[in-house]
Amino acid sequence: QEFQFGPCRVEGVALPRLLEAFRTVKETMQIQDNITSVRLLQREVLQDVSDAESCYLVHDLLKFYLSTVFKNYSHKIAEFKMLPSFSTLANNFLFIVSKLQLSMSRLNDSAHRRFLLFKSTFKQLEMETALSKAFGEVDILLTWMGKFYRL
């Protein structure tokens, strides 16, 4: 079981476990987000990502989830009693980012543009709304990451 994001390889992460962790909190999370007309991880961010871009993009996205989404949303996580699932996701995202960091040399412009599109959509929303929408889109992120997953 490994991720192969272009030149970047990450072993030891079980994608099914992450999907299951999110599945248990999906309904609770996505109910918080009633703005169905705005999507952070939109097609222009994730569609037709080349192998070369994929390592940079997944690195930027996971780092943002760790440093902004998970960090600022932990109070809600506790409130909704979702700590086990949250920990599984956060710890695995941390592990993946650490592995990616080792093999990344320089910036990839097109990957960075995709990430900036995601980030600008996030910034246009009120903070709490943006946080719950981003957390509710973890299944979209994992579905995309699944394209680079090898059993």
Partner 1 sequence: MKTLLTILAVGSLAAHIAEDSSGLLQHPKFQSSNFENILSWDSGLESIPGTVYSVDYKKYGETQWLAKEGCQEITRKSCNLTMETGDLNEFYYARVTAISAEGLPSTKVTERFNPLRHTTIKPPDVTCIPKMRSIQMIVHPSLTPVHTGDGHQLTLEEIFHDLFYSLELQINDTYQMVNVSPGSRAPIRLCSPPWVRPPHAASPPPDRTWT
Q: Please tell me whether residue 9 binds partner 1 under the rule CB under 8 A.
A: no
Closest approach of partner 1 to the CB of residue 91, in Å: 19
Closest-CA residue to 139 (of 50, 52, 59, 39) = 39
Q: Are 51 and 130 in contact (CB under 8 A)?
A: no
39 binds partner 1 (CB under 8 A): yes
**Alpha-carbon distance 128 to 21, whole Å?**
22
Task: For partner 1, give the closer residue by CB, 1 or 91.
Answer: 1
The answer to whether residue 143 forms part of the interface with partner 1 (CB under 8 A) is: yes
Locate all alpha helices (DSSP H) within the chain, ordered by sequence. Answer: 15-32, 43-46, 51-64, 71-79, 83-102, 109-123, 127-136, 138-145
Nearer to partner 1, 72 or 139 (CB): 139
Does position 37 interact with partner 1 (CB under 8 A)? The reply is yes
Residue window 90-129: x/- pattern of binding to partner 1, with contact defined by CB under 8 A: ----------------------------------------
Residues within window 13-32 making contact with partner 1, judged by CB under 8 A = 15-16, 19, 26-27, 30-31
Kindly give, in sequence order, each residue whose CB lies less than 8 Å from that of residue 78, ignoring residues fewer than 6 positions away: none
Residue whose token pair is 């956060």: 90
* Closest to partner 1 by CB, 23 or 113: 23
DSSP string, 121-143: HHHTS-HHHHHHHHHHTHHHHHH
Residues in contact with partner 1 by the rule CB under 8 A: 15-16, 19, 26-27, 30-31, 34, 36-39, 42-43, 136, 139-140, 143, 146, 151
